[in-house]
Amino acid sequence: MDTERDHQRATELEQGHASHDHMSHADAAGADPVGRHHSDADHSGHQQSGADHAGHDHSGHQHSGHDHSGHGAMDHSGMDHSGHGGHGGHAAVFGRLFGIMAVIAVPVIAFSPMFGHLVGYMVPESGPWGWVRWIAPVLGTVMYVWGGKPFLTGGWSELRARKPGMMLLIALAITVAFVASWGASLGILDAQLDFWWELALLIVIMLAGHWLEMRSLAQTTSALDSLAALLPDEAVKIVDGATVTVAPGDLVVGDVVLVRPGSAVPADGRIVDGTAEMDESMITGESRPVRRSVGDTVVAGTVATDSGLRIEITATGDDTALAGIRKLVADAQNSSSRAQRLADRAAAWLFWFALGAAVITAIVWTLVGMPDTAVVRTITVLVIACPHALGLAIPLVVSIATERAARAGVLIKDRLALETMRTVDAVLFDKTGTLTKGEPTVTAVETTGTRSDDEVLALAAAAETDSEHPLARAIVRAAEQRGLTVPAAQNFSSSPAVGVRAEVDGTEVEVGGPHLLSARGAAEATIAETWRAEGAIILHVLVAGQVVGALRLADEIRAESRQAVEALHAQDIEVVMITGDAEAVARSVAADLGIDRVFAGVRPADKAAKVAELQAEGKTVAMVGDGVNDAPALAQADVGIAIGAGTDVAIGSAGVILASDDPRSVLSVLELSRASYRKMKQNLWWAAGYNLLAVPLAAGILAPIGFVLPMSVGAILMSASTVVVALNAQLLRRLDLRPAAVVAAAERHPAGRHPAER
């Protein structure tokens, strides 16, 4: 995105101009960073070594799964929690099962002899009502087999996979309670081991916990699925001049569809007729509509807010940008990271910790002569030590973070990149097209006579109206932006290496650079030398052979760039700019933006070396570029960020893709990285700390002072720990990742990195 790209772009522009409507403006041998409209335009700030640019003075620009083993099979038809996909259906299944088991649990608890004893009534065991004593065992068995099926099948799946985890612990706990309860009911074991009511509560509570978890995960998945819901149910296809209503899925490449005002685009395409303000917020996160006209591409799901369009379909189904974004987010959610691997290892170790604690608990209570208590304490340990919250701590945060980012136009390809972003202390921006707009803009008008700036610009625009060259378009656009009335021109002509000529109100008007001045024997404007030192393109406007003014054209700096640099500085992050432009040009831009450090005159192939140079200084570097010309540098950086990618999600060298071209979005990535890291850390501390404290209590360590944790309370605490983790992760949804909001927050809280993140 600098020298090499500039050469290519400028050469294409000039050659197109030379063979187009007025060949005079560009000498096809030359090139300049923004595309020389006039080969004789004075462009001293940008010189290519080895290229003799006719008419140009180029003296300055020198170019030499989470596995979630705890879920096992869980009767989920293969769901492994790695991506948390499809949880909406699982939430409904668990919700129904929870409701049914809650109803069945009522008679189980009511007719459980031990529960009756606790609350002060007796369940008949003989006589005409003696049969009621079998209600709890029979319905309890139904609950164990039906309500416990997800845990039993999940535990068996973990056992077969040799990855014991949460499901196996729950399966062991309810199986021990089930066997002991039947033993007590049949008189084989002591009556004190009648756990039917606790087994019923245990299953109901565990189902409730899983249901809440599934609902949390389903919210993330459905939020992504809602992107697909933006597609219209019907498309209006144009066939032989008539309209036919079809399903979007029936469209094929090459079809032409009609998009009415207020309607969504049914598939990716190219506008062939019409102009409209398009709502592209679902792709870029930018709420302001964008003007799109003939030849522009539009994306499925975007909305034509004010006018109708005719669009030729270029991609359908899985080939659309929307499908690519959804796949990208799903891949990011399924990918692993350092924090995830740590959580997975901790969950695996926690299983053995829980199993060991359960065995020790059983042995100790048996040795002190209390075998009944040994069974109760063992079951409680198995239940309370389930590493469910630990297994959920990272995946839920990642799911919400990636979904939230996608809605803000930030696409996470690599979770490690998001994880690393919080530690970045240097951001390296490519200049052209990133900090600047990457296209020529009229930045100043200087008059040499009695005419006003507006008059000179209007005359230049009149002469350039018939040209399609970027520099001509820039002049015409500048006149339109000022609201000027551009007079009509006749007899348009062009002369190679000289300039353009047209008659305006009967007077000859010419626009060109140094060759035009030489041909007319005219002197340049006095300010030209200053502009030349700044690396600007200089075009002169002549009326009847006399210079009446000069135009300064340059690659305009984005207004958002200044805010981005200031906000990064407020966060104590060094900002570095890299460009192929000459030192003087680069320094001018850097000074305007307040950038700390500049790498100028750098070829694309050498950008990666500059990234490595910063890394050798001990810095963690984020590189922000276009993802194509900057691919080696993006790959070398600790975090590669492709900016302005729009819907191109196939950029392999970038870990993060910004759909918009707003450099402030880098702050959005930074804020998301820090916020998600905080949530991961909070969840891990809660989940691990809960188990370390709860297991000794469940084992009965405080029994000597009269405190014993009931089995049902243990189940409630285990489920509550999962709910706490889920709710904490949901707080990420409050993040406002709009660039303007993130920049404002960064400036309000200077150097806002969490101490643990430094």
Which active-site residues does the annotation give?
A: 430
Rounded to whole angstroms, the Cα distance separating 240 from 12 reads: 37
- List Cα–Cα distances, 47 to 3, 50, 409, 469, in angstroms: 10, 9, 37, 21
Structure-block tokens of residue 51: 């290229």
- 597 and 621 Cβ atoms separated by less than 8 Å: no
Alpha helices in 300-446 (DSSP H): 321-334, 338-367, 371-384, 388-407, 415-421
Residue 119: is it exposed, middle or buried by C-beta count within 10 angstroms (0-12/13-18/19+)? exposed
- 151 and 171 Cβ atoms separated by less than 8 Å: yes
- 71 and 390 Cβ atoms separated by less than 8 Å: no
DSSP string, 70-133: GGSSTTSTT--SSS-TTHHHHHHHHHHHHHHHHHHHHHHHHT-HHHHHHHT-----SSTTGGGG
- List Cα–Cα distances, 77 to 3, 366, 397, 489, in angstroms: 54, 41, 24, 72
DSSP code for 558: P
* CA-wise closest residue to 462 among 484, 494, 495, 440: 484
Q: Residue 512: enclosing H or E segment and its boundaries?
A: strand 507-512
Residue 13 phi, psi dihedral angles, 5° rounding: -65, -45
- Count the neighbouring beta carbons within 10 Å of the beta carbon of residue 626: 24
The type of residue at 181 is S
Rounded to whole angstroms, the Cα distance separating 268 from 280 reads: 13
Kindly report each contact of residues 637-645 with a partner whose C-beta sits within 8 Å and lies 24 or more positions away, as own/partner: 637/428, 637/611, 638/420, 638/423, 638/424, 639/417, 639/420, 639/421, 639/424, 639/669, 640/417, 641/666, 641/669, 643/434, 644/433, 644/434, 645/411
Half-sphere exposure of residue 61, counting CA atoms within 13 Å on the CB side?
A: 34
Rounded to whole angstroms, the Cα distance separating 587 from 60 reads: 12
Residue 67: is it exposed, middle or buried by C-beta count within 10 angstroms (0-12/13-18/19+)? buried
